[in-house]
Chains A and B, each alone.
Chain A
Amino acid sequence: MSVTLTEQDILKEKTEYTGVHPQKFGLWIGMASMSMFFAALTSALLVKKGDYRSWEAFRLPTVFLLSTITVISLSCCIHAALISYRKSKFSQFRWLMFFSFLLGCLFLGFQLMGWSVLQAGGMTLTENLSGSFIYVITAAHGLHIVVGLFVMLVFIVNAFRNRKDPIYELRDIINPKRQLNLELLVSYWHYVDAVWVYLYLFFYLNYQ
């Protein structure tokens, strides 16, 4: 055999069982897996908070609230981008994607500010376990954000590079693969945003 199948051949007519595209289904399983990762980290925190007598209580930096607002706006923004893509409003799509990207960077900025507030308050990485956990968990979550930003960037660069080319835009409309990829990316972002909201509430309840 001297030919390879394209993904479409393989995935043809393959949503009859769960009604979801198999790759989206795969992403959901990946989300379950990432949730276990954060569940493990946060339960480790609870265990140590429970058994370490010199656990230092401190107030969570308020800038983390700004991060939370940012990720929620990011979710709305990128979802709006998806909707305009579906309606073939490509210029709107491009700008909404671009704003989402900026919001993502802003989020990382707020997280770094959160760290420096902690440092300024004397809670360095190694000062006390109560602080160490915040650094590690936010860093682990931040890494997921960075990965998402990287993929988002690829989309944006493609979208802007070809914006003068009507053929490209036409191809966008008729190419289900591209729309699927966008949907996957948007789901991923909703997921990592939701994880942050969870983490924020979790911290908020445990650091008073």
Chain B
Amino acid sequence: METATAAHTEHHPDIHGHEEHHEETFLTKYIFSQDHKMISKQFLITGIFWGIVGGFLSVLFRLQLGWPNETFPFLESLLGKWAEGGKISQEFYYALVTMHGTILVFFVLTGGLSGTFANLLIPYQIGARDMASPFINMLSYWFFLTAGIVMFFSFFIQTGPASGGWTAYPPLNGLRDTSVNLGSGLGFDMWILGMSLFIVSSLLGGLNYIATVLNMRTKGMNMFRLPLTIWALMFTAVIGVLSFPALLAGCVLLEFDRLLDTSFYLNNIIINGNLLGYKGGSPILFQHLFWFLGHPEVYIIILPAMGLVSEVLSTHSRKPVFGYKAMIFSILAILVLSFIVWAHHMFVTGLNPNLGAVFTLFTLLIAIPSAIKVFNWIGTIWRGKVRLSSANLFAIGFVSMFISGGLTGIILGNSAIDIQLHDTMFVVAHFHIVMGVSAFFGMFAGVYNWFPRLYGKYMNETLGQIHFYGTLIGAYAIFFPMHFMTGLPRRYYTYANFETFNNFNFLAEFISIAAIIVFLVQIVFVVNFFYSIFKGRNVEVQKTVDGHAYGNPWGTTTMEWTSPIERLHGNWPGDIPTIHRWPYDYSVNGREYIPQTEPLKPGEVPHE
């Protein structure tokens, strides 16, 4: 590779000796860092923290759902008044469900996932020294962290955290009266504050990602030479920047209703026989504002995972991505469609059936680009030299999960069928498989694959395999049976009063056991992660140029490994390499892989 030899030309930016550069301290390096790689680590580790918390909450409420008649004395020592006598109280059960959803959807799979990989991969893979505005990038992390701290502290207040569902619907969440719902008190104000900070964080991050990809690519890196990860991360940012403001607007109006007694969402509310003064509002208005974000949000979660998976599958199958441009245009189609399907979450709100039909149509249209992508992933691994590394296993697992969950989406997308299925466990099964588990799989594929880039070390492969098989089997064990809990409403504390649902008791217990096992398996990942940071196997050095060691652990074509193994500020010690070809030259011209930085041979026909 001549990238490194080309490094010292006359335009050398001379990063090392410049007088204007400030000395680093512990604070600027680890805490108030403006370096994209450090910010990426901050997002990842904060995300892991939230993943553990969010996952643990689900274990707690699965105890209640699996064994509604048992008591667990350790719960009382852990939760105090929220689990008197070892049984989770009703109020706290709802708080658990609500915060589980909020944390995993926003703090792990949105902030954690996009924050980690957009920060790590965008500068590395497009050939930029950092983000368009490193300062705003730092702010984005700090808003994210503060949002999380607010959310976290809501667990420790008298009335407990928000408990009105992750979708925060009024009127339940529109009144601060804690006699109606404990979690609608201060806990929900903190939820709104936390979410608002979170939204600011995601906007600051998003505008940076887009500006960076569109403006800061290195020479030769035209748009159709970008890896699919970058396309996905950029489109994700576009969706976020355009849809999160709707939720912010919804939250502002909601908080006005709560604190200043306006009636945007409230109308003729009667509590304990008293008619409150709210008039004219409509809770459905909030649902529109919420789902105008809420549906695009699910794609904010899944697109980065799709990008990571495309890249990992191609690298580890030693084959070009099948249908590169089709992949890009499918994401674009998903982006556009994701803005016009939100009412499929509202089929039972009294929506005009004709309108419902329109939304059904658009909803089902999304299946087309989704299916194209699935086809292309399978095409990518088809007859490849597939390595069953942890990264690739998770990527393949992603495809499996995405298919399973996508199929039930098509069922739910039909308004006539959805009226039966809405708010039942079938929906829970659908979105956990297609979004929750899939996105986690994509994220794990990304972490195993890019861990060496972050830390210069590998994660342990054996533990990775245990993690994969445990999670794959366990996740299906949890969510597959939910499809068959016909008619069982979601979000109930107990079904004891419904004789018909007794026959699901066994399934509920089975699911709870599986959930606990899957949670324990994730601990394997966490241990592996932190152990590998310190004790992992080092990335092999392929060559050393000017005192910088270079490697390429998976033999990838993309730019991130043209930068030294050590994470330098500015990423490249000399000039940024120039790009000469598309990112997926695997197994061509008799070579296993050809880096993007390698010029075309005389007579070689470029892929485009």
Contact = CB atoms under 8 A, between A and B. Distances in A.
A41 B132 contact: no
A2 B211 contact: no
B15 A3 contact: yes
A25 B211 contact: yes
Interface stretch (B212-220, B487-495, B599-607): B212-220
A54 B288 CA distance: 22
Interface string B11-28: 001011010111110001
B282 A51 contact: yes
B264 interface: yes
Interface secondary structure of A, over-half rule: helix
B53 interface: no
A51 B282 CA distance: 9
A54 B280 CA distance: 7
Interface string A11-29: 1101101101111011101
A4 B288 CA distance: 46
A199 B196 CA distance: 23
Interface stretch (A30-38, A60-68, A87-95, A115-123): A30-38
A128 interface: yes
A139 to B, nearest CB: 9
Interface in A151-195: none
A36 B207 CA distance: 14
A6 to B, nearest CB: 6
Interface residues of B, number: 62
Contact of A3 (B22, B128, B252): B22
A25 B215 contact: yes
Contacts of A7: 133-135
- Name the residue among A11, A21, A39 with the largest chain B CB count within 10 angstroms: A11
A136 interface: yes
Interface in B564-593: 566, 568-570
A39 to B, nearest CB: 8
A121 B207 CA distance: 42
A14 B215 contact: yes
A204 B570 CA distance: 52
Given A37-B249, A129-B263, A132-B256, A48 B282 contact: yes
Given A36-B242, A44-B289, A17 B262 contact: no
Interface of A: 1-7, 9-12, 14-15, 17-18, 20-23, 25-27, 29-30, 32-34, 36-37, 39-41, 44, 47-48, 51-52, 54-55, 125-126, 128-129, 132, 136, 140
Interface of B: 13, 15-16, 18, 20-24, 28, 34-35, 128-136, 203, 206-208, 210-212, 214-217, 241-246, 248-250, 252-253, 256, 260-264, 277, 279-282, 285, 288-289, 292, 566, 568-570
In order of increasing CB-CB distance, the 5 nearest A-B pairs are: A22-B132, A37-B245, A40-B249, A26-B211, A36-B245
